[in-house]
Amino acid sequence: MCIYQRVRTKNYIKYVYCLKRKKEVTYKTCSNCKSKEYKKVKEIKKKSSKLAKLERNRFSILTNDLKHCYICHSKKDDLHEVFPGSNRQASIKNGFVIPICRKCHIEITNNEEAQKRLQIMMQEQYELEHSREDFVKIIGKVVCKILDD
């Protein structure tokens, strides 16, 4: 579509308007226009090499088997970061990742309670070897406060 072409309506009837010629045109006359210009297509933003390397070297502190779904034990499709959003890279660096099939991934992302259970499991596992203060520094909050030893 030309950058000068607009679809407008008059009395609920659609027509094509050319901003360059400043008049109503048909699609045929617009396709033969000499001043036709197309919108420049932006490139898709590429991942930084640092992020790509992080994603290639993902591991899980809950399981050593990254080939099967952690929930239903079928073949995994994705590696799910348990702490999403701004904590995604922290999840990757610290092993807060689980292998998961597509069906379970959809169920978990749509179920807040299941997400919370996974986050509690990750916090418990992390606190076996590290302190709660370390966990709070990484994630920024305590998921479950009942975990006192």
Arithmetic mean of pLDDT, 122-141? 90
- Per-residue model confidence (pLDDT) at position 146: 57
Residue 71 has pLDDT above 60, yes or no: yes
List the one residue out of 66, 62, 70, 71 whose CA is nearest residue 126.
62
- Per domain, the residue ranges of the chain are 1-33, 49-139
| Average pLDDT for 14-32 | 84
pLDDT at 145: 67
* E strand spans, the chain: 5-10, 13-18, 23-25, 78-81, 97-100
Q: What distance in Å separates the CA atoms of residue 89 and residue 55, rounded to the nearest whole number?
A: 9
Q: Show the tokens assigned to 86.
A: 């701004």
Residues 92-107: tens digit of each pLDDT: 999 999 999 999 999 9
pLDDT value, residue 5 = 86
Give the pair of three-digit tokens for residue 34. 């000499």
